Amino acid sequence: MRTNPKRVLSMLACAALTTGLAAQTSSMTGRLIDSSNVGRSGVTVQLDAGSPTTTTNATGNFTFTGLQNRTYTVSILPAAGTFAPQQFDRAVNGATNLGNITLLNGALITGTLLGPTGAPITNGNMNAYDSAGVKLFTPGDATNTLGQFSITVQLGSIRFRTVTPPASSLVPQEQVHSVTAATSLGTFHLQRGFTVTGTCVDAVSAAGIGSVRVLTTDSIAKASVLQLNPLASSTGAFSLLLPVGCFDLTFNPPNGNAHAGRIRRGVIIVGAQSLGAIQLQPAVFVSGTVLGPAGPVQSTDIDVLTTDGYKLYTPGDNTDAAGHFSVAVPAGTYRLSFQPPVAAGVAGFRTPALTFNASSSVGTVNLATGVALNLTMVGPGGPVFDTDLELLDPVSGDSMALTSDHADAAGLIATIAPLGTWNVKLDAPQGSLAAAIRLPNVPIAGPIALTVPMAMKVLRLDVVGVGIQTIVQGGQVPINVTLQNTTANTVPATIEIVVRYPSGAETTILPPVPLDVPPLFDFTLSGIMVAIPAVPAGQKDRELHLLVRARDALTSAQLDEAYTQFVVH
């Protein structure tokens, strides 16, 4: 029997029509409400790239009909500055009801992006991230011809990041704000960036080390410089974008990787450059658990000190909720220092020298209850911010481990001290007019709260360097030196310059030079280039002190000292 072609075509057409109608009968409904469960009218809702689009009715409901059975991207677009935009994917299968969708209160965020010459940055944009690091949906965030942007974000702690066209080579910036109302972020002046490359390698085998996180910090301003891709590749290669300046680069191996972290100080950038191989030392893991009378002591800071007192860089060196810690250090002999949070009410502790040739645990470290020590430091000009407190063992001279041992803006040092008798050292920050205090054999048997007056220095010294400079053996360190006689009398003094090592040992650069300092003399000598003698091999790649010291010419009593740091690479 022969098939009628017309009948077959008719059947196929009907089937196609039926399938098409079935595909177009699905729908999506939902309701937009505020935090008070009130439906919000007039809010735009879009699917995919904006087609179709609808708005909510008087009760906050919206409906899309004639949809296919597939996944759609739903965009909720409230009026600017009212509620935060939202975007999410939803699968449609027949009549699909999204239910109630709560709108998040929002605020309008504005600002301007300018380039190195002050010209507006067009077609850049501002990204926003919540406190969990989730990127927020911010439609219309591109900058206009004036470099201006305007976005609406939810209330709360929000991190804002500039994004510029890829070919612009401009260094991105970030700001964190607690958004409670409409806010202007002001003007972002973006700097031209230069590509800085290198490769993280094992110091012994030269094999590449992957996923090392490279953090960049301005050596002078101490401000972090954002890197959009701070991770080294699987072969250890990294590429950074930095402006002209002096920077510290921190290299943090991934968790569980048996290499010690490293800081490269004073990298000077004037153009694109390669740093070559960044050697990371093979490491062992030192672990343990910190307990107090009430149980685990969370957030205890662990320092690892060499036998001559140098503090190693150890990322991730705080205890967790169970009091556990694990740090990666090169095999060797070290002392461990434990600084618990003040709120724990326990005193810090330092171990004797311990040798670690393989990964091992120090077991449980039990911290004893301490007592509150509150000292308010007041100098000639009022509270002395950043005054440093040290408690020293009168017999061994060993420094006790303290937390929060620097004064706040009100001059308050609030710490937990161990019971016992201690030699007390109180040092104002260098350049301050407040003189140092030394108190021997001070008993601490219970809580102490005192206001401590600090006398005025006879001579004031200050030394300012260009960050922490990295130099080669025999190189020079630039410094500015200020000398001030605070009295109405001539002060007979000697001035000397030394290199001080972590152990306290010194190498003399300039032996004591006699100097009669005139009354009320205040003088700054800028641009001094100090030649550094060769340092011992064991002191290379460490932060050393270039120190200027003033003594009384008659009694040799120290009047003041100040320093800058440098590294010999």
Reported as a single tens digit per residue, the pLDDT across 244-263 is 999 999 999 999 999 999 99
d(CA 257, CA 328): 8
Mapping DSSP to helix (H, G, I), strand (E, B) and coil, where does residue 17 land?
Answer: helix
Are 15 and 43 spatial neighbours (Cβ–Cβ below 8 Å)? no
| pLDDT higher than 90, residue 156 | yes
- Judging by DSSP bridges, how do beta strands 71-77 and 237-242 pair with one another? unpaired
Give the pair of three-digit tokens for residue 107: 């605020």
Average pLDDT over residues 369-385: 97
Are 26 and 67 spatial neighbours (Cβ–Cβ below 8 Å)? yes
| pLDDT higher than 60, residue 11 | no
Residue 234: CB atoms within 10 A of its CB come to 10
Give 194's Cβ-side CA count (13 Å radius).
15
pLDDT score, position 467 = 85
Domain 284-366 matching CATH 1.20.58.410: the answer reads: no
Give the pair of three-digit tokens for residue 346: 């326990």
- The owner of tokens 């021997």 is 440
| pLDDT higher than 70, residue 95 | yes
| pLDDT higher than 90, residue 18 | no
Please, what sign has the CA dihedral across residues 492, 498, 501, 506?
Answer: negative
| Mean pLDDT of all residues belonging to the chain | 93
Tell me the CATH number of domain 106-189, given options 3.30.70.980, 3.40.50.1860, 2.60.40.10, 3.40.50.300: 2.60.40.10
Judge if 24-102 and 106-189 fold alike in CATH terms.
yes
Q: What is the 3-state secondary structure (H, E, C) of 445-461?
A: CCCEEEEEECCECCEEE
Are 478 and 464 spatial neighbours (Cβ–Cβ below 8 Å)? no
Name the pLDDT band for 51 (thresholds 50, 70, 90): confident
Are 85 and 64 spatial neighbours (Cβ–Cβ below 8 Å)? no
Give the tens place of pLDDT for each residue, 332-342: 999 999 999 99
pLDDT score, position 164 = 85
d(CA 100, CA 60): 9
pLDDT score, position 23 = 45
Q: Which residue type does 150 have?
A: S
- Residues pairing with 420 in the sheet: 444
Furthest-apart CA atoms within the chain: distance in Å: 130
d(CA 121, CA 143): 7
CA of 509: how far to CAs of 424, 461, 499, 500, 533, in Å?
A: 30, 17, 7, 10, 7
Q: Read off the pTM.
A: 0.83
Are 151 and 128 spatial neighbours (Cβ–Cβ below 8 Å)? yes
Give the pair of three-digit tokens for residue 320: 């967790």
For domain 371-453, give the fold.
Immunoglobulin-like (2.60.40)
Q: Which residue type does 104 have?
A: L
d(CA 524, CA 527): 10
For domain 459-568, give the fold.
Immunoglobulin-like (2.60.40)
Tell me the CATH number of domain 194-280, given options 3.20.20.80, 1.20.120.1770, 3.50.50.60, 2.60.40.1120: 2.60.40.1120
Q: Which of 7-21, 454-468, 533-547 has the lowest mean pLDDT?
A: 7-21
Give the tens place of pLDDT for each residue, 508-537: 999 999 999 999 999 999 999 999 999 999
d(CA 523, CA 419): 45
Give the pair of three-digit tokens for residue 228: 């959009």
pLDDT score, position 4 = 54
Length of the chain: 569
Mapping DSSP to helix (H, G, I), strand (E, B) and coil, where does residue 19 land?
Answer: helix
Mapping DSSP to helix (H, G, I), strand (E, B) and coil, where does residue 445 land?
Answer: coil
Name the pLDDT band for 15 (thresholds 50, 70, 90): very low
Nearest to 528 by CA among 484, 566, 460, 477: 477
pLDDT score, position 49 = 78
> What are the phi and psi torsion angles at 145 (to 5°)?
-65, -15
Q: List b or e across 406-431, with b for residues whose CB sees 16 or more CB atoms inside 10 angstroms.
A: ebeeebbbbbbbbeeebbbebbbebe
Q: What is the domain partition of the chain in residue ranges?
A: 24-102, 106-189, 194-280, 284-366, 371-453, 459-568
- Superfamily the domain 24-102 falls into: Immunoglobulins (2.60.40.10)
pLDDT score, position 168 = 82
Are 310 and 333 spatial neighbours (Cβ–Cβ below 8 Å)? no
Name the pLDDT band for 560 (thresholds 50, 70, 90): very high
- Judging by DSSP bridges, how do beta strands 148-154 and 106-114 pair with one another? antiparallel
